[in-house]
Amino acid sequence: MLAGLIVAALGVLDDVTVSQASTVFTIHETDPGQTFGQLFARGMRVGRDHIASVVNTLFLAYAGASLGLLVLFSTSGLPVSELINSELVAVELVKTMVGSLGLLAAVPLTTLIAAASVVGTQPTRDGSRRHRH
């Protein structure tokens, strides 16, 4: 089950980390003299929007994949209290929470690594970076 949860969130995780690193690099290009703290704070402002967007996307993807299950529940005739406490509902909630927690951790870690790797470098015209002397 854990492997399934991890694989389910990998596509979204890949997207958000690449976007976040690219954001930090672009912020650095606009002002290469920023300190690590300034760059990290500015990257995290954008990262909060990434997190909100991706958590909603992840929830909607899981809800969409579970529509068949929801139809089955609605036609089963079981009481709502029994449906809410079922294993299938619990699994879907755990999937959403695990994916969301991974994303919540990924954005600050990606921002931290990107900011640490770019501070002290000078962007060149071709997009590469060289250390300041």
Kindly tell me if the per-residue pLDDT of 10 is higher than 70.
Answer: yes
Q: What residues contact residue 49 under an 8 Å CB cut-off, 6+ apart?
A: none
Q: What residues contact residue 73 under an 8 Å CB cut-off, 6+ apart?
A: 83
Kindly tell me if the per-residue pLDDT of 78 is higher than 50.
Answer: yes
How far apart are alpha carbons 72 and 85 in whole angstroms?
15
Kindly tell me if the per-residue pLDDT of 131 is higher than 60.
Answer: no
Structure token digits, residue 40: 């990290």
Helix (H) or strand (E) segment spanning residue 15? helix 2-30
Question: pLDDT band at 133, cuts 50/70/90?
Answer: very low
More confident site: 119 or 59: 119
Q: Provide the percentage of residues in the chain whose pLDDT is more than 70.
A: 85
pLDDT tens digits for range 14-62: 888 899 999 999 999 999 999 999 999 999 999 998 888 877 777 777 7
The reported pLDDT for the residue numbered 3 is 64
Mean of the per-residue pLDDT values of the chain: 80
Cα of 62 vs its chain's centroid, Å:
15
Please identify which residue in the block is written with the tokens 């290469």: 32
How far apart are alpha carbons 95 and 92 in whole angstroms?
5
Q: What residues contact residue 6 under an 8 Å CB cut-off, 6+ apart?
A: 98, 102
Kindly tell me if the per-residue pLDDT of 114 is higher than 60.
Answer: yes
Question: pLDDT band at 97, cuts 50/70/90?
Answer: confident
**Do 103 and 12 meet the contact criterion of CB atoms below 8 Å apart?**
yes
The reported pLDDT for the residue numbered 51 is 83
